[in-house]
Amino acid sequence: MLQLTEQKSFERPDEVREFPLGRAEILKIGAAEIGRLVFEPGWRWSTHLKPLVQTDSCKAPHFQYHLQGRLGIRMDDGTELVAGPGDVTSLPCGHDAWVIGNEPVVVVDWYGASSYARPA
């Protein structure tokens, strides 16, 4: 089996999905899709993406590295956490999230980006 060496940059993503107060930049590399998710101050999943995807909570699982800003997260079971720069989060399906403060949130999502912010 021939394996290829690849290099890509989020400066030139393969796909950009824009939504109110945010965007998902998607790189297709190897057999994976990696996403850089950017959320502006005031963004909240249940306000800005719920109408687009038409589910009660976010159904995309995530495995994320947090680069910038603070993100509040509430799981459907009521568990809450706040993630910030340097944190890694593993989130199963079923959650809401929102930007805390006046700084944009930027995360790299290693799992779940391929289905994130797709219209119903």
- For residue range 42-53, what is the model confidence (pLDDT) as tens digits? 999 999 999 999
pTM above 0.75, yes or no: yes
For residue range 12-26, what is the model confidence (pLDDT) as tens digits? 999 999 999 999 999
By C-alpha distance, which of 44, 65, 55 is closest to 113?
65
The tokens for 9 are: 């940059």
Q: Determine the average pLDDT of the residues in 100-110.
A: 97
d(CA 74, CA 76): 7
Distances (CA, A) of 80 to 34, 74, 76, 96: 25, 4, 9, 10
- Split at pLDDT 50, 70, 90, the class of 39 is very high
Which tokens is 87 given?
């944190």
pLDDT of residue 1: 57
86: left (phi over 0), alpha (psi -120 to 50) or beta: left
Q: Which amino acid would we find at residue 112? A: G
Topology (CATH) of 15-115: Jelly Rolls (2.60.120)
Burial (CB count <10 Å: 0-12, 13-18, 19+), residue 71:
buried
